[in-house]
Amino acid sequence: MGYFVKAKQEKAIWLQKAKDMEGLLNVSSEDVKLQVHIIELDESDLKLIHAFKDTIEPQVEDIVDSFYVTILQVPELKEIINKHSTVEKLRKTLISHMLSLFNGVIDDQFVELRKKVAKTHYRIGLQPRWYPSGFQSVQNFLQKLVFEHSKNGEEQQMLISAIGKKLNLEQQLVLEAYEAENVRVRENQ
């Protein structure tokens, strides 16, 4: 006779903590509202992400370092970085960018900042396809953190889903602004 040993289900600490966190979703653009709606991102996702920020903070340098290990393997990307900046400078920029993704807020300033990131990347000639691929290494790292810090199946699933939605919106906004910049520059020419 065999026994099936069920993995111990621990308490959902982050879902509990999320109840007291700020989660603000307030954008004026009708297009962005629709994008948010389509991916089913809501304030409860933002609260949960915000609650998890304490776990991300001590790890954010490692997240960013692993991002650079990945992208520096591509000669084209290494060349762009060395031409326009340094890994040391960009590390700092990316650390604060990553942390800002976990402050539980999506507002007009969030949207504007993504447009600025797109314009900067466009100016330095970074092909848009590298943006989502760079994010995959970040997302892999974050998923690992979720499994290390939550031992509750439902909570793990909700954290991964909330993080995935926010990163997805970020990429949508940046890629869209990239395309808008492309059109603007072509029209000017």
- Which residues contact ligand HEM by CB under 6 A? 71, 77, 80-81, 84-85, 90, 93-94, 97, 116-117, 120-121, 124, 126, 130-131, 134-135, 138
CA dihedral for 102, 142, 56, 8, sign (positive or negative)? positive
CA distance linking residue 83 with residue 46, whole number of Å:
36
State the nearest-atom distance from the C-beta of 66 to ligand HEM, in Å: 11
Beta bridge partners of 147: none
Rg over alpha carbons for the chain, rounded to the nearest Å, is 18
State the nearest-atom distance from the C-beta of 106 to ligand HEM, in Å: 16
CA distance linking residue 157 with residue 15, whole number of Å:
11
Of 12 and 128, which CB lies nearer to ligand HEM in the complex structure? 128
State the nearest-atom distance from the C-beta of 181 to ligand HEM, in Å: 12
Of 18 and 126, which CB lies nearer to ligand HEM in the complex structure? 126
How far the first Cα of the chain sits from its last, in Å, is: 77
Of 27 and 90, which CB lies nearer to ligand HEM in the complex structure? 90
State the nearest-atom distance from the C-beta of 77 to ligand HEM, in Å: 4
Of 137 and 152, which CB lies nearer to ligand HEM in the complex structure? 137
| Structure-block tokens of residue 107 | 């507002």
Q: What is the DSSP letter of 103?
A: S
